[in-house]
């Protein structure tokens, strides 16, 4: 190997294949005699990053699940708290489902609540473990008093991740640890479980006290979603605890399924959808003009059951929530509106108004500034922007 006469130590220290040095490759394989030789006999740097991703030997050991190699590196001075690319070793262990490595890192002082600073993910290990369905790691974190109700973003909680990835074992652990089974804002865990047909998740949430009479953001109750997407058993589970829906003539399991089937068939008729939405929107507008915001809210929600992709309906419902004093729900609807029509100035106005109500003046200023860029002639947007500027 030492063809240039530089000595074995220097030759091996600089040998690089596809961005990986000898020490990193040995940590990948977990070859302990070779690792011991490179570190103890050749004094290789245990903290030197590779040139492929700035990953340390310790990170290689974690990624490949080599606990003996990781323990050896730690005992020989490896820094277990470095964050190559903004990701800690604990994040990597959580994402890769390595419970023994995870426990070892915690025993060496790793913090379980640290967020990644990577531009790709700002999740904590709790979110990563839940996302991967790694119940054993989640259990360790909850035993370390990790918060099962921590929020990230508009609708992101550990429970939402567990349901998104259909991980019922993780859901059960979170519920046992005190996670809020009724969700927050417009996120409804029971509705999500019903829509995904997760029978065991529905049982778990109901046993923990989830409210079956709370609709999702489109006005659909969990039992309606179960009838459309789930199974007969799911509808049977929800039926005894769900209040009667006035529009369902035959209030029985069979009657609900038939009613929802008919609704689904009607929504495939473009003419029906257009006429129904137009009528509900008109009724909502009339109620709003009469300052009956609760009734207007109900009509707009019913219209969203007909068309989930109408940004105007979310905009109208947002202002109703605001008039009723619920800034958080007004914000969620404004965000839905913006997501559907990202270049519509009114969406940013609605978002800015909700944020102003919640006294988040910096965020309101940002939203209103963007809205004014899209509609420079809007006097109401400019007025609210100046108000946000004065208060921020």
Q: What is the pLDDT of residues 132-151, one digit of tens each?
A: 999 999 999 999 888 898 88
Q: What's the mean pLDDT when you consider all of the chain?
A: 89
Give buried/exposed letters for 302-339 (b at 16+ CB in 10 A, else e): bbbbbbbebbbbbbbbbbbbbeeebbebbbbbbbbbbe
**CB contact at 8 A, 36 and 72:** yes
> What pTM was estimated for this model as a whole?
0.74
Phi-psi group of 133: left, alpha or beta (phi > 0 → left; psi -120 to 50 → alpha; rest → beta): left
More confident residue, 291 or 392: 291
Predicted pLDDT at 19: 62
pLDDT-above-70 percentage for the chain: 91
Task: Give ranges for CATH 1.25.40.10 in the chain.
Answer: 273-391
Tokens representing 165 are 């990835």
Q: In this structure, is the dihedral angle defined by the CA atoms of residues 323, 326, 328 and 329, taken in order, positive or negative? A: negative
- Residue 42 pLDDT > 90: no
| Residues written for the chain | 392
**CB contact at 8 A, 101 and 65:** yes
- Residue 309 pLDDT > 80: yes
Residue 255: burial class (beta carbons within 10 Å; 0-12, 13-18, 19+) = middle
**pLDDT tens digits, residue range 209-265?**
999 999 888 888 999 999 999 889 999 999 999 999 988 999 999 999 999 998 888
**How far apart are the C-alpha atoms of 7 and 69, rounded to whole Å?**
26
**CATH-assigned architecture of domain 273-391:** Alpha Horseshoe (1.25)
Distance of CA 220 to the CA centre of its chain: 21
Q: Domain 181-266 carries which CATH code?
A: 1.25.40.20
Helix (H, G, I), strand (E, B) or coil at 21: strand
**How far apart are the C-alpha atoms of 117 and 141, rounded to whole Å?**
20
Predicted pLDDT at 323: 96
Task: Give ranges for CATH 1.25.40.20 in the chain.
Answer: 181-266
Q: Quickly tell me which residue has 């839905």 as its tokens.
A: 336
Predicted pLDDT at 347: 96
Query: 3-class secondary structure for 143-208?
Result: HCCCCCCCCCCCCCCHHHHHHHCCCHHHHHHHHHCCCCCCCCCCCCHHHHHHHCCCHHHHHHHHHC
**How far apart are the C-alpha atoms of 121 and 152, rounded to whole Å?**
11
Most confident of 117-126, 176-185, 232-241: 232-241
Indicate the angle between helix axes 199-207 and 168-176, nearest 10 degrees: 10
């Amino acid at each position: 190997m030492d063809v240039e006469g530089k000595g074995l130590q220097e030759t091996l220290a600089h040998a690089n294949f596809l961005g990986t040095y000898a020490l990193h490759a040995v940590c990948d394989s977990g070859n302990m005699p070779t690792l011991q030789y490179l570190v103890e006999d050749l004094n290789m740097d245990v903290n030197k990053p590779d040139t492929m991703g700035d990953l340390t030997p310790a990170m290689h050991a974690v990624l490949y699940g080599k606990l003996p190699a990781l323990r050896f590196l730690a005992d020989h001075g490896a820094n277990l708290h470095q964050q190559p690319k903004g990701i800690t070793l604990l994040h990597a262990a959580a994402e890769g489902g390595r419970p023994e490595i995870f426990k070892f890192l915690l025993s060496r002082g790793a913090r379980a609540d640290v967020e990644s600073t990577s531009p790709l993910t700002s999740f904590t290990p709790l979110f990563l473990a839940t996302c991967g369905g790694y119940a054993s790691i989640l259990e360790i974190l909850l035993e370390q008093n990790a918060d099962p109700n921590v929020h990230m973003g508009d609708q992101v909680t550990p429970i939402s991740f567990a349901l998104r990835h259909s991980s019922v074992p993780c859901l059960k652990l979170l519920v046992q640890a005190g996670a809020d089974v009724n969700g927050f804002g417009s996120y409804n865990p029971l509705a999500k479980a019903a829509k995904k047909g997760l029978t065991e998740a529905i049982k778990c949430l109901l046993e923990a006290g989830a409210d079956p009479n709370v609709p999702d953001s489109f006005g659909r109750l969990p039992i309606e979603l179960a009838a459309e997407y789930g199974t007969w058993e799911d509808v049977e589970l929800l039926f005894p605890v769900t209040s009667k829906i006035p529009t369902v003539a035959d209030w029985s399991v069979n009657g609900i399924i038939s009613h929802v089937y008919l609704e689904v068939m009607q929504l495939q008729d473009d003419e029906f959808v257009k006429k129904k939405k137009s009528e509900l929107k008109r009724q909502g507008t009339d109620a709003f003009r009469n300052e009956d915001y609760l009734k207007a809210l109900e009509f707009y929600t019913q219209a969203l059951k007909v068309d989930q992709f109408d940004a105007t309906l979310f905009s109208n419902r947002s202002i109703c929530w605001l008039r009723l004093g619920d800034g958080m729900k007004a914000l969620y609807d404004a965000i839905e509106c913006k997501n559907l029509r990202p270049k519509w100035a009114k969406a940013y106005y609605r978002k800015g108004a909700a944020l102003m109500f919640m006294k988040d003046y910096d965020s309101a200023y940002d939203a209103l500034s963007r809205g004014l860029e899209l509609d420079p002639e809007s006097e109401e947007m400019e007025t609210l922007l100046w108000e946000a500027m004065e208060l921020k």
